[in-house]
């Protein structure tokens, strides 16, 4: 019995991706007229016919992508905007559910499931791997900014990013580089590993203190650093918000940045580029991360992914040099 042609067969014949063939067959936005003609011609040539039963099942979908994020995290806000853009291009709308100090992540996720979202994008999820695995049995899930075994994930190479930042400081001539750790936050272990790897390669001392994700935690770390009297000549903070807290305490204490202590962050949030802050930072590609997450989720929803294997999509961060880092003066 002859095998029935699939979307993959059409994609190979037309020389395009399976996702693009799916867009054309659904008559969704995201493909040019020239591409639509080429795909339809290829389908006719190999005798492809849509699975009407599967199409009827898909018609019961809500076309909603559920999205969790942490309120107050600027990098998460950048990702939210990117998810909206990518989802709209693929014919989906987005339902937001925030994680706040008074609303935990399980509740945020439960709200989206109750709203019958077709699939979920979770930004920096901190629920357990078991909870994530159980959730993925109910609805397609893509994690952003965290690697999760057995689950589709889209993230930056945090190890490489931390190496970039540390190498920048070493290249300026800094030898006492303090790293403010992110604790149990997604990506924290990888960034710490990158800092340690770069410090060892440069043969500089590993100076590590607890940091955090917020300005308050960065300020607390800076205050503790000042009390110790053993000042570093550079500080690498877990993220930009933490770095801003460090800079605030240093400047209020009469310590000039970068003349006396250089400071570098991670994320390249909008505040980092403001003239009065001018923070050197490691940039994450929020647009690329958001787009890849939505595309992966929609591909699962549309059945254009063969097999059940999860993928770990990794994007390279880049260094953005501004005015908060400079060579040591002594």
What pLDDT does residue 95 have?
Answer: 95
Q: Domain check: are 164 and 152 in the same one?
A: no
Residue 60 is encoded by which pair of tokens?
Answer: 């019961």
Q: Domain check: are 236 and 96 in the same one?
A: no
Is residue 194 a part of any domain in this protein? yes
Q: Is 133 exposed, middle or buried (0-12, 13-18, 19+ CB in 10 A)?
A: middle
Domain count, the chain: 3
Handedness of CA 25, 28, 34, 35 (dihedral sign): negative
Is residue 270 a part of any domain in this protein? yes
DSSP E strands in 238-311: the ranges are 262-267, 280-283
Q: Which residue has 């020389």 as its token pair? A: 15
Is residue 117 a part of any domain in this protein? yes
Q: Domain check: are 120 and 200 in the same one?
A: no
Identify the bridge partners of residue 156 per DSSP, sorted by sequence position.
Answer: 315
Q: How far apart are CA 229 and CA 223, in angstroms?
A: 10
Q: Domain check: are 102 and 191 in the same one?
A: no
Identify whether the C-beta of residue 64 lies closer than 8 Å to the C-beta of residue 35.
Answer: no
Q: Domain check: are 174 and 234 in the same one?
A: yes
pLDDT in tens, 154-165: 999 999 999 999
pLDDT in tens, 278-325: 999 999 999 999 999 999 999 988 877 654 678 999 999 999 999 999
Q: Which domain holds residue 262?
A: 158-283
What pLDDT does residue 56 have?
Answer: 47
**Rg of the chain on CA atoms, in Å:** 23
Is residue 326 a part of any domain in this protein? no
pLDDT in tens, 42-77: 988 988 877 654 554 455 788 999 999 999 888 999
Is residue 1 a part of any domain in this protein? no
Q: Domain check: are 192 and 300 in the same one?
A: no
Q: Domain check: are 152 and 164 in the same one?
A: no
Q: How far apart are CA 129 and CA 149, in angstroms?
A: 8
Q: Which CATH number characterizes residue 151's domain?
A: 3.40.50.2300
Q: Domain check: are 218 and 186 in the same one?
A: yes
Q: Report, as ranges of residue numbers, the positions in the chain whose pLDDT lies below 70.
A: 1-2, 28-30, 51-59, 305-308
Is residue 321 a part of any domain in this protein? no
Q: How far apart are CA 34 and CA 274, in angstroms?
A: 43
SS3 of residue 117 by DSSP = coil
Q: Domain check: are 262 and 305 in the same one?
A: no
Identify whether the C-beta of residue 174 lies closer than 8 Å to the C-beta of residue 330.
Answer: no
Buried b (16+ CB within 10 A) or exposed e, 103-132: eebeebbebbeeeebbbbbbbbbebeeeeb
Q: How far is CA 187 from CA 138, 269, 321, in A?
A: 26, 16, 22
Three-state DSSP string of 71-113: CCCHHHHHHHHHHHHHHHHCCCEEEEEEEECCECHHHHHHHHH
Q: Domain check: are 262 and 206 in the same one?
A: yes
Q: Domain check: are 112 and 194 in the same one?
A: no
Q: How far apart are CA 246 and CA 220, in angstroms?
A: 8
Q: Which CATH number characterizes residue 51's domain?
A: 1.10.260.40
Is residue 80 a part of any domain in this protein? yes
What is the DSSP secondary-structure string of 120-148?
EEEES--S-HHHHHHHHHHS-EEEESS--
Q: How far apart are CA 179 and CA 237, in angstroms?
A: 6
Q: Domain check: are 112 and 180 in the same one?
A: no
Strands 280-283 vs 262-267: parallel, antiparallel or unpaired: parallel
Is residue 325 a part of any domain in this protein? no
In the sheet that holds 64-70, the strands lie side by side as 93-99, 64-70, 119-123, 141-144, 152-156, 312-315
Q: How far apart are CA 220 and CA 214, in angstroms?
A: 10
């Amino acid at each position: 019995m002859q095998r029935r042609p699939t979307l993959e067969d059409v994609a190979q014949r037309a020389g395009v991706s399976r996702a693009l063939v799916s867009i054309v067959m659904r008559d969704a936005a995201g493909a040019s007229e020239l591409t639509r003609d080429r795909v339809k011609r290829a389908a006719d040539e190999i005798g492809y016919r849509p699975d009407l039963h599967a199409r009827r099942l898909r018609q019961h979908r809500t076309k909603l992508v559920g999205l969790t994020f942490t309120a107050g995290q600027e990098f998460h806000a950048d990702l939210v905007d990117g998810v909206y853009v990518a989802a709209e291009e693929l014919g989906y709308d987005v339902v937001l559910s925030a994680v706040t100090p008074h609303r935990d992540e399980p509740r945020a996720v439960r709200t989206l499931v109750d709203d019958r979202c077709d699939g979920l994008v979770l930004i920096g999820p901190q629920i357990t791997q078991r909870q994530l695995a159980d959730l993925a049995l109910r609805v397609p899930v893509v994690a952003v900014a965290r690697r999760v075994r057995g689950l589709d994930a889209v993230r930056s190479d945090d190890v490489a990013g931390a190496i970039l930042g540390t190498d920048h400081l070493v290249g300026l001539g800094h030898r006492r580089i303090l790293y403010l750790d992110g604790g149990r936050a997604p990506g924290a272990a990888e960034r710490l590993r990158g800092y340690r790897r770069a410090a060892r390669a440069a043969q500089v001392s590993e100076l590590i203190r607890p940091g955090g994700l917020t300005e308050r935690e960065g300020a607390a770390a800076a205050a503790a650093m000042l009390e110790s009297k053993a000042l570093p000549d550079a500080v690498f903070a877990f993220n930009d918000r933490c770095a801003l807290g460090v800079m605030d305490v240093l400047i209020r204490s009469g310590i000039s940045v970068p003349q006396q202590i250089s400071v570098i962050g991670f994320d390249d949030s909008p505040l980092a580029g403001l003239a009065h802050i001018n923070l050197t930072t490691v940039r994450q590609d929020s647009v690329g991360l958001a787009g890849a997450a939505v595309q992966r989720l929609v591909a699962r929803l549309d059945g254009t992914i063969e097999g059940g294997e999860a993928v770990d999509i990794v994007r390279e961060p880049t260094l953005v040099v501004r005015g908060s880092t400079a060579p040591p003066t002594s």
